């Protein structure tokens, strides 16, 4: 079984290339950040501070395979916020780890917080493909 992470980007926003890259990077890293935060919250230092030793984070099998492997990422596109939201909810409904990225609007989007992209996984391709196989490559 192959493991990958899929990043789904809104093409209708016509973001600058650098903005697209930054948003995709946020999405790709979100699963790891959330896992480390969750681990740290469960392992507070005795003085109430944070224990910054992330050595005990437990990863699910596909995540560990992804970390130990090639970090395969596929970037796909959607053409509307509704389509992005539909992919998000479908992934959640199918028990996948999915992370929506909402840009603050500080540099684009006229100060309006805007959902730009999402990431699904890392997960086995067989679980992601039924949700995303109809999307075009970005």
The pLDDT of residue 38: 77
Rounded to the nearest 10 degrees, the angle between the axes of helix 81-93 and helix 125-132 is 140
Q: What is the pLDDT of residue 95?
A: 97
The fold adopted by the segment(s) 3-137 is Bit1 (3.40.1490)
pLDDT value of residue 41: 58
Give residue 26's pLDDT: 97
Question: Which residues, listed in sequence order, are joined to residue 123 by a DSSP beta bridge?
Answer: 4
Q: Using one digit for the tens of pLDDT, what is the confidence trace for 42-55?
A: 655 555 554 555 46
Q: Provide the whole-model pTM.
A: 0.88
If phi > 0 it is left, if psi is from -120 to 50 it is alpha, else beta; for residue 10 that is: beta
Q: Which of 20, 9, 13 is nearest to 138 (CA)?
A: 9
pLDDT at res. 117: 98
pLDDT at 48: 55
Q: How much is the pLDDT for 102?
A: 97
Give the pLDDT of residue 1: 83
Q: Looking at residue 57, what is its pLDDT?
A: 82
Residues of the chain with pLDDT under 70: 39-55
> Each residue of 20-53: b (16+ CB within 10 Å) or e?
bebbbebbbebbbeebeeebbeeeeeeeeeeeee
Map out the domains of the chain as residue ranges: 3-137
Q: In the prediction, which pLDDT does 45 show?
A: 54
């Amino acid at each position: 079984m192959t493991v990958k992470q899929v990043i789904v980007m809104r093409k209708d926003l016509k973001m600058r290339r650098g903005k697209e890259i930054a948003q995709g990077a946020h999405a790709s890293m979100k699963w790891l950040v959330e896992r480390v935060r969750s681990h740290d919250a469960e392992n507070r230092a005795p003085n109430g501070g944070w224990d910054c030793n992330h050595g005990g984070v437990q990863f699910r099998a596909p995540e560990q395979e992804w970390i130990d492997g090639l970090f395969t990422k596929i970037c796909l596109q959607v053409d509307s916020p509704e389509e992005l939201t539909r992919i998000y909810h479908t992934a959640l409904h199918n028990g996948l780890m999915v992370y929506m990225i909402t840009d603050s609007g500080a540099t684009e989007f006229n100060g309006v917080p805007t959902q730009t992209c999402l990431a699904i996984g890392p997960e086995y391709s067989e679980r992601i493909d039924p949700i995303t196989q109809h999307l075009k490559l970005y």
